[in-house]
Chains A and B, each alone.
Chain A
Amino acid sequence: MIRTEEMILNVGPQHPSTHGVFRLVVKIDGEIITEAKPVIGYLHRGTEKLAENLQYTQIIPYTDRMDYLSSMTNNYILCHAVETMMGIQVPERADFLRVIAMELNRVASHLVAWGTYILDLGATSPFIYAFRDREMIINMLNELSGARLTFNYMRVGGVKWDAPEGWIEKVRDFVPYMRGQLKGFHDLVSGNEIFLDRVKGIGKYTKEDALHYSLSGPNLRCTGVKWDLRKDEPYSIYNRFEFDVPTSEEGDCLARYHLRLAEIEQSLNILEQAVEQFPAEGEIMAKVPKIIKAPKGEAFVRIESPRGEIGCYIASDGKKEPYRLKFRRPSFYNLQILPKLLKGENIANMIAILGAIDIVLGEVDG
């Protein structure tokens, strides 16, 4: 009589495909997963607690390190929250710079998601093509902010640096180039039989599940919910631009893959219009007091980061430090559905499903 037994497999914290220090304890029967338990917290730095002893401007570098693939949106959410509390009107030129920076960063973030996802599925080359194009964005943002990844670019009331000479033209030239590249990406991967075999119908969930698990971003839109805060609750100057919110009905890994590429396209549309309407001159900082003190009270704002809805809650007692700061970090919420999705799948699908959720561990652990 053959005796079989279940095996507990520890995937991570050091594993090539967990995108950082993420650990997944899976019970497997052969290669079939019967139970999965994510273990997080290896990258926890206590951003929210640290913030309680920091002035608002000092918190901005910490937000860079949460979702390190999309630091610009994180910068923005904090500044936006403080500006909302203090009622600061941001100058137009600063708003444009912010939007351009955020959309460039969104493209860069989705490129990383695309490249690493294909890498997870075993193809090595597309990863490098994605990073080549991302490098161009990183260089542009470097020229703008002086950093490649942790930009620390935005300030309460505006942005730190004005665009250097010729920078806007560079962004303008980048848009058609990236459109061409996107076509190449589709040609290279989207129609590949093996790729389709790996992602079609895998990691499927319904609209109800997505809403119950509080998913957001492409993870929500892949089930057909048309919800993008840039459109539904316009912040900054997003209401001035024409763009679509791509959705699809399938709710599987393939849908999420296609949505991310479609979102790059929409971001390029926004960039094109933003560069077109970019004001020739103007202030980049509003008049803000030297020491920023949010008035007594509380505020919650939310925006659309590449990974979903990022929110910031500030409770202030009128001092120069927040009394309590809380971030709604989309990766953390998106990750919740993972144990449900993994049940009954095999090891190869586990990697495909985890990759399609597109988590950033700095954000999951806060």
Chain B
Amino acid sequence: MIEELLQSSPGWANFAIFFLLGAVLLLIVLGFVTYGILAERKVLGYMQLRHGPNQVGGKWGLLQTVADVLKLLLKEDIIPKAADKPLFIIAPMIAFAPSFMVLATMPFTDKFQFADIGVGLLYYIAVSGLTVFGMVLGGWASNNKYALLGGMRAAAQMISYEIPLVMSVLGVILLTGSLNLNEIVTHQEHGWFILLQPIGFIVFFIASIAELNRTPFDLPESENELVAGYHVEYSGFRWAFFMLAEYVYLFAMSALITVVFLGGWLAPFSFLNFIPGAVWFALKFSVVVFIYIWIRATLPRFRADRLMEFGWKVLLPIALANIFLTALLKSLFF
């Protein structure tokens, strides 16, 4: 259906349909963010001998995040006197917008996808790279030394880890011969890329944690060193936008890993095909999110200089070796 709409001539009706669909996706994403945060707090809580939220919205704390967001909306909007006001205001938006944009090419099922563009994977990686501007600008515009250090760390970390991230999926691209996410999924009918590309998957997963700014790579906002890093001066809804960006990226990155390495909406065995693709996608996606939360509960934080060394001297060579290995195997056996 979407394909036809994209082909048809532009008009108000088309615009309205796309707008509506966009709003639906936004609601899905916000729903995920709301309950993703709750899930993270609950899982972390149980891993740490606590209960997590259990007051607002029944014993599962189902309305806790809603209450938190409402509180953030009602908070006073503070802009520091010495801050660079226009930059300070625009930074959270720059950080948030790309996180939502990347979802446009994500094939949640074979039917539910907004734009089936030829270079979907490249699009994701390119657009997600924009977020770091928001972080650096936010850190710079706050005119706070901790924020500046956090912004600097964010820039260094994002750039260093984007390269292994791209290099590690090159193996997948070599095997598929396409950057299109749909084709990558359909290619996995006889074997997921996590099995065909185990090295690529591991490098990708590690680099993705760094891209997501999560423990053990949460240096830009490391609480114990830089208090809160680049968003130390932000409060109220501007701060919420940074957080929102972070969790939407968690959503997007988990979806991307599902698509690229775990076979997207495909069932693991063909006799399980009667279960709809959306269910498979949701299941695999949830497992990836859980692993991210699990890692957060377990590991201490990297040190800034070691982080760089690890990115450039360990991950990148492994990713490059993986490309050569894949190319060699492909030319020999396929």
Contacts and interface: CB of A to CB of B under 8 A. Distances in A.
Contacts of B224: 16-17, 119-122, 351
Contacts of A17: 224-225
Given A16-B223, A122-B222, A122-B224, A348 B298 contact: no
B131 interface: no
A349 B48 contact: no
Given A128-B49, A129-B49, A198-B303, 9 more contacts: A118-B300, A122-B300, A123-B215, A123-B300, A124-B44, A124-B48, A128-B48, A347-B225, A348-B303
A129 B297 CA distance: 12
Contacts of A119: 224
A121 B303 CA distance: 9
- Sorted nearest first, the 7 A-B pairs with minimum C-beta distance are A122-B301, A123-B300, A121-B300, A17-B224, A128-B48, A348-B303, A122-B300
Interface string B198-241: 00000000000000000110110011111100000000000000
Interface string B30-62: 000000000000001001111000000000000
B299 A123 contact: yes
Nearest to B148: A7
A195 interface: yes
Given A16-B223, A17-B225, A122-B222, A346 B303 contact: yes
Given A17-B224, A347-B225, A194 B145 contact: no
Contacts of B123: none
Interface residues of B, number: 30
Interface residues of A, number: 30
Contacts, number: 81
Interface of A: 7, 9-10, 15-17, 31, 118-125, 128-129, 132, 189, 192, 194-195, 197-198, 346-351
A353 to B, nearest CB: 12
A7 B144 CA distance: 11
6 contacts: A7-B145, A9-B145, A123-B215, A123-B300, A198-B300, A348-B301
B320 interface: no
A132 B219 CA distance: 28
B50 A197 contact: no
A15 B222 CA distance: 12
B49 A348 contact: no
B175 to A, nearest CB: 31
A247 to B, nearest CB: 26
Contact of B225 (A128, A194, A351): A351
A15 B226 CA distance: 9
A15 B44 CA distance: 24
A348 B225 contact: yes
Given A125-B48, A351-B225, A31 B149 contact: yes
A192 B299 CA distance: 8
Contacts of B304: 31, 346-348
